[in-house]
Amino acid sequence: MKTYELLTVFKPNLDADEVDKALESFGKVISDFGGKVESTDKTGRKKLAYEIQNFRDGYFVTSVLSLPEDKVAEFRRQLRLSDNILRTMFLEVSKAGV
């Protein structure tokens, strides 16, 4: 199982409860795939560098998660299907010195 970092930009018209519900549902998907969420950092609402889907700002959340390698493609597909997400960045966390 590898460790990944996921930056998610949610639509700014969502309130905090809706963002929490979306994060909860993604946490459930991750656990169903045999992974786990290590940590979540809600950065909050920030201005975007350019307009995405007619939005000038977004709600940023960074999560560190462990996920089996064979489930990564399906999880990324699940992220793309969500209507509440403007953009994601999914990175593999490398171990220092390796």
What pLDDT digit, counting tens, does each position of 19-69 carry? 999 999 999 999 999 999 999 999 989 999 999 999 999 999 999 999 998
Sheet holding 36-52, edge to edge: 36-52, 55-67, 2-10, 85-92
Query: What residue has token string 């199982």?
Result: 1
pLDDT of 97 > 80? The answer is no
What contacts 52, CB < 8 A, 6 or more positions away?
A: 9, 58, 86, 87
pTM here is 0.85
pLDDT recorded at residue 95: 72
Domain layout of the chain by residue ranges: 2-92
Class of domain 2-92: alpha beta
